[in-house]
Structure 1
């Protein structure tokens, strides 16, 4: 039976309502009556009725004030008001407090029966919803909320699940390193729940990610670090890599979707986030959002620099050029796939240079390396793998010993004579003093470095002159920025000017 409290300052009305209908036949029982608003408040606390029928005008605390106080205490309480013809304005004000209806005095039996039948149906439905909501776990409420169920439809379940009266912070955890089958995500959530679930922490899954709701927020940086360590510990052995981001604290459980959405948005750029910490929602590098992702920068200018660094096996130089490439890629705002493609193009171009000189020296290593580049699950890992691949190229070409380095120097001169080459620069890259390497070079070739370089350049210049190129063009093509300086060098080694050589050699 649903409990009814009747409140009216007129005894005849109170007693009349008790006997006007057979209450129990409609599922109701009048448990008590009250004489004014104050009495209504007191007896509400005693009986916790499901329905109060209350007069709108009474001495002391009137019906309107009592209704306001009752509604503040109990959002689910059903109320019918009694009023006279002259009290319509009062009744209209009372209706703003979710009143189920009002009846004019004297109460009509059929009207009361109609209200009771409708209210019993409503109360039965509410009871069923409460029973259903009582079986909801916090995880079920959160998943339903994130799937788009209106908060109003989950109020009962959220209250039963302990979500009311607290602020919450969503931490979304993304797993990397293997194909995410549904059973893998389920197992990850189970492990996280076993390790971290508590009344103040709720584990859930959403859109292929793990989620952790933290009551009143995750706390200080040290507390966040401890939480991240616990997350990694819980998932150890299941996934080698995780990235986590927070959506910030929200003041009500109804705003949990907003916190979750902000964390998920940060993880859209999760590839670029460092591991081992819970990132705030604004920590990800520039995200073009709904706009088309930015094109990655052209890194082709690094091909020659990296090829030269590989030729002289300078791991330091390789690292510096990779660092520059990484900075430019981050600044571009390009997405993960575009960045990986740019890195693949760069290492492929370097490998092509190496292959052109020594067929078979880089192709197999390149193919293995490209697979590893595309499997990288974060930006730092991508840079490390690209660096390792280029170091492997360098080690494959490195033979060791100063005399072997001289052979490399000769090779570099013949392939890069058109650039600014200095013994000091190459010696530094090779890890030798320029004085020592210069002596070894002269011992091996019979000439000092600059003379050898000049002769290579002049031989190439002679070929270009016979092809009809202008003298200043030839000078630039073989590495001399100053045409007069070129004239002097040419005359020194050939015994005549470039123009005279072309005329003489061309005529013969």
Structure 2
């Protein structure tokens, strides 16, 4: 499983990437995110990601400078540049810095998936060549588990399918464990090993993903979105929204509306 770090100064875009992309399906685990290059550099040193998805235009330290710093430190992370500016000069600099790829906002998820798949294949090809573990490029044992899951691991596969089908209603890990005839502690451990998240986080993030789609449509009130996505009451929804996205549902809707006006 690829470990990904995201650097993007626009809060709504960064949080949208972290919480709404189906990273598990892409075989990716997001290990951190930052609003500027300087903060990202520290986070990358600590989390040792395989791939860094970074905006080019950022405060404090831009994406190109971040890539130069990583290159100077001989950091093995592959850098994928993200920008709103379809400027050939930036593309040229990205090439000089040996960028893994260059994507334009808004991100096309199919294109992103293609880039990440290629990088995952590159990683798999280099792993057999490593006879000794090296800090920062050691084989991530979770990759074996995720492959097992995609080939039919019954436990986590059942949980993820259940979340996608039943996120609108009440769900508990106790019930899902009982359905499969395993203990709750075993299932919890298996979920954590394969996804890097707890059952509660998986469920909350999937519900948030679906709720963002409804909020962006602008058809429903916030309390209606909360009810339709399994959060139940308005207050609980706002608490979870704030925890993961660091803003409020109303503020998100206002940002979306403002973005649409700018596009017009």
TM-score w.r.t. the length of structure 1 is 0.25
Q: Which has the higher contact order (CA 8 A, sep 6+)?
A: 2
**Bigger radius of gyration among the two:** 1
TM-score w.r.t. the length of structure 2 is 0.48
